[in-house]
Structure 1
Amino acid sequence: MAIAPKTRSKTSAKTVIAASSVKPAAAVSKPVVAAKPAKAAKAPAAAKAVVKKTAVKKAAVKAETKPVAAKKTVAAKKASKPVEVAKPVPAKKAAAKPPSDVTSKTASKTTSKKVVKPIEAVLAAAVVAPAAKPVVKPAAKRSSKPAEEVTKKALVKKASPKLVAVPDLARSVEPVVPVPVSKAKPKPAPKQVVPVAVKPVEPLVAAKKPVKKSAEPVKAKAKAVAPPAKTAKSSTGRSKPVAKPVALPVAPAAPPAIPKPPAKFALQRPNAAAAGVFGDYVVAELAGEQTWAVSVRGTSLSDCRCSCADFRFGERGSCEHVEFALGSLLDSPQQRAALEQGLRADYSEVLMGYGAARYLRWRQGQLCPMELAREAQALLDERGRLPADDADAVGRLTGLLQMATELGAEVRVEAGVWEQVALGRDARQRVQGLAQAYPQGLESPALRGLLKLPLPLYQLESALFAACAGRALVADDLGLGLYAPAYAAAELFARHFGVERVLVLCAESAQTRWLGEARILSHASAQMIWGDAGTRQSQCQSLGQGGLEIKIASLSSLRQDLTLLQGFAPELIVVDEAARLDADALALLRRLDKGFLLMLSGQVLDEQPQQLLALVELLDRHRNGPWERFLSRHVRRSGQAMHFYALERLDQTLERVMFSRSRAELQPTLPVALVQLRAVPLTSQQSLLQQPLLADLRRAVARWQRSAYVSESELLHLQQTLQHLRRLAISPQLLAPEVGVADAPKLTAVAALTRELLGAAAEHLLVFCQWDDALSLLAARLQAGGTAFVQLHAEQTLAQRIELVRQWRDDSARAVLLCSDRAALGLDLQIERAALVNLELPWGEALLEQRLVCLADEHSRGLPLIQLLAQTGLEQAMLQALDGVADLPAGSLDGDASRQLLLGDEPSRFMQALTALCSVLTD
């Protein structure tokens, strides 16, 4: 059937960056082969007393059995090859004075602290040494031991022809990798002096030529390096100095800790006697009084629950309260172990999964029978979720629970599961119920009496969609009409789903129009909520004796009247111009929204995805899938920014919640004119002037009902009375010129329509009226408002009128044409993208068709026709009563002078029409 729409999270791990000790420069880049630590020579005599004898002996044996000697470097090979560190020079080839006791103590303290620097900084601070022996400062004492002589050359490296000494500031006992200087002549730089943090204090060597700074280690083979002082291997494989037992390696200084942000919450356990880490907690706000209930059932976010709205309606399926509770528990090693072990329950569970789309989960207990486990696994989809979308899936879920009962297995079902399943069943029942009520679809006779006036099929279609969806967005193109479908949908909700209270939220300037449309179209009682605080409160609290009740409130007063409107407890909320809602209005609407929701937009929103996404989030309040599909199919995130793509497929993605049509799509099926009724209230002056005219009309009808006789003169008098009432609805000045300038709501409404329609729904506007003097009053109102126009008079010649029509067509600044029925005779007014406004309601359909023919040809479809209608007067009664009267005699009411006298049975038919009119006429 055509009326039914198609039925359709991980805890962020805390990353702890520990300051690791810096490796030697030779171990940073893969191509560089780090030199093995040289076997240490005998330790100095001052250190022997405090080192174990066995360790000294082993080190001495190793030093004697494996002598180290190297004099040549292989500099001719390519720099891209790995660096091979040559064996250290024998100790007999170098002799230097040992450092003094004070110097040794200072160096020992220095080496106990590791200086951490990146390899780029070390290379940049390297010193170039000449090939000759370095000049050594004389020392007070000189030792002849080879090991001490070797340590004097630990940082001097020979290259052919230049050497670069690269000191390792991280560990003093590691060998230094020599790096040859590039052949290209480097730029001169100031001499650099680098203090070397090694145990023996070495003299600084002045560099003849600086070395370029390099971001990467240079790949080359190096010459031999002198071995450091005698060392002993630690358990980790790295050598440690054995000169003094107190100079043990110390852990590198940790980087300064980043200060943690101040705590926002506190974690409390309501039941202190509760066993284990799993259970219910309370997260309390430190700076306020708010609290949230958090249930912890595992380390996964999907295993936790929170009572806040962000958890239930958010996209992540988590919230800051759950993350705080989990983080606090994981800080304790005992609680972390218990959480990682998981909740081991004997019973199985059917749980709710939260996020952008809600789903059902299965958690198998320890005592779950194998038969039940196999049945549950068979129900899971490819994402491991239980089905809950269609009737068959719900039946299989019910069957699973029945099997558990038969097997004596305990299966617990989370409360939110049944609510989610019930929402799906409600949606299916709405579609089935409407299909049964209207078996012929849009052609069903029962739909014709839905409102006081029959609706075109395209408006009935949008009303039926809204009723089927329950929560929908109707975004039809401007001119297709939104008021009538909204009231038709409200009538369907009331007729089939028991809705009694409807709230319409619109702009303050549109409240009167919504009220007028309700009185014209709907059978329900309607009332505006406006005025001071006391008046608004009484209006919200006043309810009828039953049936459908409609309240019309302003969106701008939503914040101040939120409590009053919540007291009204609307079951259906209709939101006009939903695309203009900002974030604050949407948040307030979310607090008020508890049932059915219908959002309206006078423009297609495919090209406004940002606004559309916010509306879909509100429409998909129960997270049945449309919002999640929008995010996954049309949104890419880059930081905080959103990028939208594939917008041409939005209709398919949102087919369950959005009904949107452009005029071009409906063009072949549209009628010639799309009639929009614009209700206009009467002023107190107009109401006062029409009372005696209505009394005369009622008396004449009552006399005809008693005697079945009406004279010709009385018929003429009745026609004049009707004409006075119709002209009075335009302006009091037409009936009583002596009143001077008076308020005329119809003339004000036309001025507003010119601003609304021109440039949006139409490029030209034609205003029709029977009377030239009424159009002259309108011309003065437009001129006072700064609107340019062209006016045709019946007294003008045909040539003059043709020239004025040409100006209207060609001059875009004068896009408004004022024309009477007599002035339009003999003129071709057809033009593309034009709209028609009737200043008064025609008595019969013949005049309406005549006006349409002037503007539209046989191929025209969907011409906007705005009919201004005065409330609480003759025109409203005409619309309600005369619509069902067939072949109404026109008389002279539509300007036909030849119909002044009625012939044959026309007087009787005319009086019958007036009788029906008086039955619905109100003062």
Structure 2
Amino acid sequence: MKKSKKTAVKKTPRNRKPEEMSLEAWQIALRKEFGRAQKFRLKNLGAEAFFSDFSVTNPQSGNTYRVAIRSLQTGMNYCSCPDFAVNSLGTCKHIEFTLGKLEKKTGGKKALAAGHRPSYSSISLRYGAERQIVFRPGREAPPAFLKIVSKYFGPDQLLRADAYARFERFLEEAKSAADGHEWRCYEDALNFIAQRRDQAGLRERIDGLFPQGSRSAALEKLLKVPLYPFQKEGALFLAKAGRALLADEMGLGKTIQAVAATEILARAFGIEKVLIVCPTSLKHQWKQEIRRFTERSVEVLEGLTAARTARLAHESFYKIINYDVVHRDLPLLEKWAPDLIILDEAQRIKNWKTRAAQSVKRLPSEYAIVLTGTPLENRLEELHSIMQFVDRFHLGPLFRFLHEHQMTDEAGKVTGYRHLSKISESLKPILVRRTKGEVLKDLPGRLEKTFFLPMTPEQKQHHDENGEIVARIVQRWRRTRFLSEKDQRLLTAALQNMRMSCNSTYLLDDKSDFGVKADEAVAFLQDFFEKPETKAIIFSQWLGTHELILRRLKKQKWSHVFFHGGVAGPERPKLVERFKNDPQCRLFLSTDAGGVGLNLQNASAVVNMDQPWNPAVLEQRIGRAHRMGREGPVHVVNFVSEGTIEHGMLDLLAFKKSLFAGVLDGGEDSVFLGGSRLKKFMESVEKVTGNIPASSPAAAISETGGSTQAGAG
């Protein structure tokens, strides 16, 4: 007789919610299936067989979490893992693993289904969309004890809003009325109550020190340099929030506001240990700025592990470290236990999957100040990842956040975002952002001009040959909606070659030099440098472009510095200092390594030799000079090769800009885009290559070496 085949268990789809399931039911099902398939190690920490505390260890990661089992009912159990704390589901893979193991024991299903009402009473933290303190009465709770509880907890057994401030009083009264009855108040509940009370006390203390707010006289002497009015408001906001995100547009002085907020917290609460995490290129700039603004001691953590360990042991108020080494030094930093962490250029943790992001989010601190002018560049997940460091509960779990704000097609591909104004409103208590337009009276002007330049025949040949490759792949994509990995690599290379050919053929063959951009840049500088005090920054994505400019600079009298990713960390601040302080050093050549965080407001012009795909990168470049402290306008010059992919790119970036504006600057509430990332990218390629305008004779270079300028402003 043939054995009957087992019916295959239908698995819950991971990438798309089944129509018949609620969002919560879908996520719980995923955790249940995953958890019960794991081979974790389980250890009972208590005396009871089922309703007890357990340790669950993942042998692969080595992580161990405490699981408390009280019922099969969702929300009654507890786990110390991060997912349980934020997912608002009342369960996680560790709880589901434990329940699965217990159900297989004799009498397990029956006992768990009946639930557990212990003899003792308990006060615990209920994790959900809103965290709440909940009381659970024990079987033997005396009436006098329950009467005291009713004064502080409502009929729903939740701690009343006005009882947080009186919780010590409750503990005293409950202890007296217990009459031998056992009751427990769990540590996470006590921590949550303390956090709520500390937050209220934080605001009251700062309001007492600065009773007139940003107009308080005490703020005038806070730092060694004066603050603008909006910077005073920003510093007070950061200090009162305790953990907050400063997303001011680039150039508005996020560094000085963070330092001012640190001083406020030091005077109000006596913080003594501040850790600054920033890109390598900005460590010494932070050190210089701190010394310029305050009298505080500062130590840069650099060198090999032994050297960084020794520097960490030095007595200093500020410690500065770069993102790249946080994961290596995490145990030391956890032991040092900073009071305040400042993250600069926090877009470095926008991808939650990276080692740097995961390590930074494990850093402990009571207070946090997160700085970035671009918390959102491409996707809403980036903002969510950064906010996890500020307050991991604020935006809720990622699956719920995306379900509410992400639009998808029938195949589950992302087509756009909605309700962006709701995100903006929810962030107001912990995010402050001002644009240059809002504080224009305090800022220098910004004058932009775009020069459309002709291509040489040699450039055009390279450009068009690669354009044909792109066109063939685009046609294949239109027919099949699929690209092999080979085609994707080929497409990326061809697009890159098209862009590089716009600067010069030298970027493609390392030999020839057909192209006019380098000559046009030098011609512009010759006119611009007629005033002896003027200085300029030249940005290009490619080292080859700078090599061509350096060749031409040999005939000029201007001194210059060249800042790029290959410059050693200790040498970088020397280049910046020379550009700032040497009157003969007129020119700062930089790849996009210098587009992040550097203060170069002594430059009068920013020259973009090429246009980046990402608008945030372009704003980063311009923001090096167009920032607080600059006297006089900043000239922004863009060189674009006419009738090329560069020309077609000018209209490409509207979606990214509108997404950023919708969340942070009060722009459109909904933004639409293509489906999958590949689909969106291919549609961008189609748009760029399809919008390349024909070359115009008006763009030809004149005999005097000038060129027709367009665009602008």
TM tier, smaller? 0.5 to 0.7
AA aligned opposite 1:588: S
Structure 1 residue 834, shift from structure 2 partner = 9.4
On the 8 A contact 1:479/1:674 being kept in 2, the answer is: no
On the 8 A contact 1:472/1:598 being kept in 2, the answer is: yes
On the 8 A contact 2:275/2:320 being kept in 1, the answer is: yes
Higher RCO (Cα < 8 Å, 6 or more apart) = 2
Please give the TM-score of this superposition, normalised by the length of structure 2.
Answer: 0.55
Structure 1 position 421 matched with structure 2 position 193: yes
Partner of 1:560: 328
Distance 2:228 2:199 in 1: 26
Partner of 1:145: none
Q: Residues 396 and 566 from structure 1, CA distance in 2 versus in 1: closer, same or farther, beyond 3 angstroms?
A: closer
Structure 1 position 616 matched with structure 2 position 387: yes
Distance 2:263 2:149 in 1: 43
Structure 1 residue 313, shift from structure 2 partner = 4.7
Q: Residues 635 and 411 from structure 1, CA distance in 2 versus in 1: closer, same or farther, beyond 3 angstroms?
A: farther
- Between structure 1 and structure 2, the one with the greater Rg is 1
Structure 1 residue 666, shift from structure 2 partner = 3.6
Structure 1 residue 278, shift from structure 2 partner = 1.5
Distance 1:264 1:853 in 2: 61
Of 152, 159, 166, the residue aligned with 1:395 is 166
Secondary structure of 2:232's counterpart equals: helix
Partner of 1:26: none
Deviations along 1:686-727, one digit per CA (max 9) or x if unpaired, are xxxxxxxxxxxxxxxxxxxxxxxxxxxxxxxxxxxxxxxx99
AA aligned opposite 1:748: V
On the 8 A contact 1:476/1:604 being kept in 2, the answer is: no
Structure 1 position 475 matched with structure 2 position 243: no
Partner of 1:884: none
Structure 1 position 748 matched with structure 2 position 561: yes
Partner of 1:303: 76
Partner of 2:348: 580
Structure 1 residue 604, shift from structure 2 partner = 6.2
Structure 1 position 462 matched with structure 2 position 234: yes
Secondary structure of 1:598's counterpart equals: strand
Of 591, 599, 623, the residue aligned with 2:362 is 591
Q: Residues 340 and 644 from structure 1, CA distance in 2 versus in 1: closer, same or farther, beyond 3 angstroms?
A: same
Distance 1:636 1:485 in 2: 33
Partner of 1:326: 99
Structure 1 residue 436, shift from structure 2 partner = 0.4
Please give the TM-score of this superposition, normalised by the length of structure 1.
Answer: 0.44
Listed as ranges, the matches of 1:760-771 within 5 Å are: none
Distance 1:392 1:746 in 2: 68
Partner of 1:704: none
Structure 1 residue 654, shift from structure 2 partner = 1.5
Partner of 1:354: 127
Deviations along 1:10-34, one digit per CA (max 9) or x if unpaired, are xxxxxxxxxxxxxxxxxxxxxxxxx
Partner of 1:722: none
Structure 1 residue 449, shift from structure 2 partner = 1.2
Secondary structure of 1:422's counterpart equals: helix
Structure 1 position 440 matched with structure 2 position 212: yes
Deviations along 1:474-521, one digit per CA (max 9) or x if unpaired, are 101112111101111111121211111111111111122212211211
Distance 1:599 1:375 in 2: 43
Secondary structure of 1:665's counterpart equals: coil
Q: Residues 419 and 563 from structure 1, CA distance in 2 versus in 1: closer, same or farther, beyond 3 angstroms?
A: closer
Structure 1 residue 257, shift from structure 2 partner = 5.5
Distance 2:403 2:590 in 1: 52
Partner of 1:601: 372
On the 8 A contact 2:164/2:193 being kept in 1, the answer is: no
Deviations along 1:319-352, one digit per CA (max 9) or x if unpaired, are 2221111112223462222222222333332221
AA aligned opposite 1:595: E
Secondary structure of 2:287's counterpart equals: helix
Distance 1:854 1:556 in 2: 34
* Gapped regions of structure 1 (runs ≥ 5): 1-108, 114-251, 676-725, 731-740, 753-767, 786-804, 816-832, 842-847, 856-923
Q: Residues 258 and 497 from structure 1, CA distance in 2 versus in 1: closer, same or farther, beyond 3 angstroms?
A: same
Listed as ranges, the matches of 1:817-836 within 5 Å are: none
Distance 1:635 1:651 in 2: 12
Deviations along 1:567-586, one digit per CA (max 9) or x if unpaired, are 44322111111123232222
Distance 2:635 2:413 in 1: 52
Q: Residues 276 and 565 from structure 1, CA distance in 2 versus in 1: closer, same or farther, beyond 3 angstroms?
A: closer
Partner of 1:497: 269
AA aligned opposite 1:448: E
On the 8 A contact 1:379/1:387 being kept in 2, the answer is: yes
Structure 1 position 671 matched with structure 2 position 439: no
AA aligned opposite 1:570: P
AA aligned opposite 1:514: W
On the 8 A contact 2:244/2:369 being kept in 1, the answer is: yes
Distance 1:746 1:506 in 2: 29
Distance 1:353 1:361 in 2: 6
Partner of 1:453: 225
User: Aligned residues, how many?
Assistant: 465
Q: Residues 302 and 637 from structure 1, CA distance in 2 versus in 1: closer, same or farther, beyond 3 angstroms?
A: farther
Secondary structure of 1:345's counterpart equals: coil
Of 425, 433, 452, the residue aligned with 1:652 is 425
Structure 1 residue 437, shift from structure 2 partner = 0.4
* Gapped regions of structure 2 (runs ≥ 5): 11-32, 447-531, 537-553, 565-578, 593-603, 612-620, 637-713
Structure 1 residue 747, shift from structure 2 partner = 4.4
Distance 2:369 2:265 in 1: 11
Partner of 1:278: 51
Of 292, 296, 299, the residue aligned with 1:520 is 292
Distance 1:507 1:375 in 2: 54
Distance 1:352 1:587 in 2: 25
AA aligned opposite 1:441: G
Partner of 2:25: none
Deviations along 1:849-900, one digit per CA (max 9) or x if unpaired, are 7x57999xxxxxxxxxxxxxxxxxxxxxxxxxxxxxxxxxxxxxxxxxxxxx
AA aligned opposite 1:453: V
Q: Residues 586 and 359 from structure 1, CA distance in 2 versus in 1: closer, same or farther, beyond 3 angstroms?
A: farther
Q: Residues 442 and 263 from structure 1, CA distance in 2 versus in 1: closer, same or farther, beyond 3 angstroms?
A: closer
Q: Residues 378 and 500 from structure 1, CA distance in 2 versus in 1: closer, same or farther, beyond 3 angstroms?
A: closer
Distance 1:300 1:553 in 2: 46
Partner of 1:631: 401
Structure 1 position 344 matched with structure 2 position 95: no
Q: Residues 303 and 372 from structure 1, CA distance in 2 versus in 1: closer, same or farther, beyond 3 angstroms?
A: same
On the 8 A contact 1:617/1:627 being kept in 2, the answer is: no
Q: Residues 634 and 439 from structure 1, CA distance in 2 versus in 1: closer, same or farther, beyond 3 angstroms?
A: farther
Secondary structure of 1:561's counterpart equals: helix
Partner of 2:259: 487
Deviations along 1:5-58, one digit per CA (max 9) or x if unpaired, are xxxxxxxxxxxxxxxxxxxxxxxxxxxxxxxxxxxxxxxxxxxxxxxxxxxxxx
Listed as ranges, the matches of 1:64-103 within 5 Å are: none
Distance 2:624 2:386 in 1: 33
Distance 1:347 1:262 in 2: 34
Structure 1 residue 472, shift from structure 2 partner = 0.8
Query: Alpha carbon RMSD of aligned pairs, Å?
Result: 4.9
On the 8 A contact 1:347/1:364 being kept in 2, the answer is: yes
